[in-house]
Structure 1
Amino acid sequence: MPLEDRAGHKVFSQVFGAGARPALAIHCTLAHSGAWAGVAARLPQLAFTAFDMPGHGQSGPWMGSDYHGDVTRIAASFIDRPLDLIGHSFGASVALRLAVAAPEAVRSLTLIEPVLFVAAAGTPEFAAQADDNERFRNMIAAGEAEAAARAFVAQWGAGQPWEKLDPRARAAFSAQMPLVLAGGEANFTDTARILRDGGLEAIDAPVMLIRGANSPAVMATICEAIAARLPDVGLAVVPGAGHMLPVTHPAQVADLIALNLNRE
Structure 2
Amino acid sequence: MKDEASSSQATFVRHLGEGERKVLALHCTIAHSRAWAGLAAALKDEATLIAPDMLFHGQSPDWDGEGDVFEAVTRQALDQLTEPLDVIGHSFGGMIALRLAIEYPELVRSAVLIEPVFFAVVKQDAPHLVQDHDREAQPYLTALAAKDNRLAARLFNRMWTLDDGPRWPDLPERTRAAMERGIQLVAPVEDVLFDDRLGLLKAGQLDRATMPVLLLRGSRTQPTIQVINTGLQNRLPSASDRVIDGAGHMLPISHPHETAEQILRFWGAKENARSE
Report the residue type matching 1:232 in the other structure.
Answer: S
**Contact 2:30/2:181 (CA < 8 Å) preserved in 1?**
no
Pick closer, same or farther for the CA change 1:235–1:35 going to 2, 3 Å.
same
Question: How far apart are the structure 2 equivalents of 1:106 and 1:175?
Answer: 30
In structure 1, the residue matched to 2:17 is 17
For 1:1-264, list aligned pairs within 5 A: 1-6=3-8, 9-43=9-43, 44-64=45-65, 65-122=67-124, 123-157=127-161, 159-264=165-270
Question: How far apart are the structure 1 equivalents of 2:183 and 2:104?
Answer: 30
Aligned-residue RMSD, C-alpha: 1.7
State the Cα distance separating 1:135 from its structure 2 match: 4.2
**Contact 1:4/1:10 (CA < 8 Å) preserved in 2?**
yes
Question: Which is further off, 137-146 or 66-75?
Answer: 137-146
Question: Matched residue of 1:59: which SS?
Answer: coil
Report the residue type matching 2:23 in the other structure.
Answer: A
Report the residue type matching 2:76 in the other structure.
Answer: I
Map Cα deviations across residues 195-251 of structure 1 (whole Å, 9 max, x no partner). 221122222211110001111111111111111112222111111111111110000
**Contact 2:4/2:14 (CA < 8 Å) preserved in 1?**
no
Give unmatched runs, 5+ long, in structure 1: none
**Contact 1:111/1:208 (CA < 8 Å) preserved in 2?**
yes
TM-score (normalised: structure 1): 0.93
TM-score (normalised: structure 2): 0.89
Question: Which is further off, 143-152 or 30-39?
Answer: 143-152
State the Cα distance separating 1:180 from its structure 2 match: 1.6
Question: How far apart are the structure 2 equivalents of 1:146 and 1:83?
Answer: 36
Give unmatched runs, 5+ long, in structure 2: 271-276
After the TM superposition, list the runs of 4 or more consecutive aligned residues in structure 1 that deviate by more than 6 angstroms.
none
Question: Matched residue of 1:61: which SS?
Answer: coil
Q: Report how many residues are paired.
A: 262
Question: How far apart are the structure 1 equivalents of 2:198 and 2:28?
Answer: 18
**Contact 2:55/2:63 (CA < 8 Å) preserved in 1?**
yes
Pick closer, same or farther for the CA change 1:10–1:131 going to 2, 3 Å.
farther
Report the residue type matching 1:213 in the other structure.
Answer: S
Identical aligned residues as a percent: 38
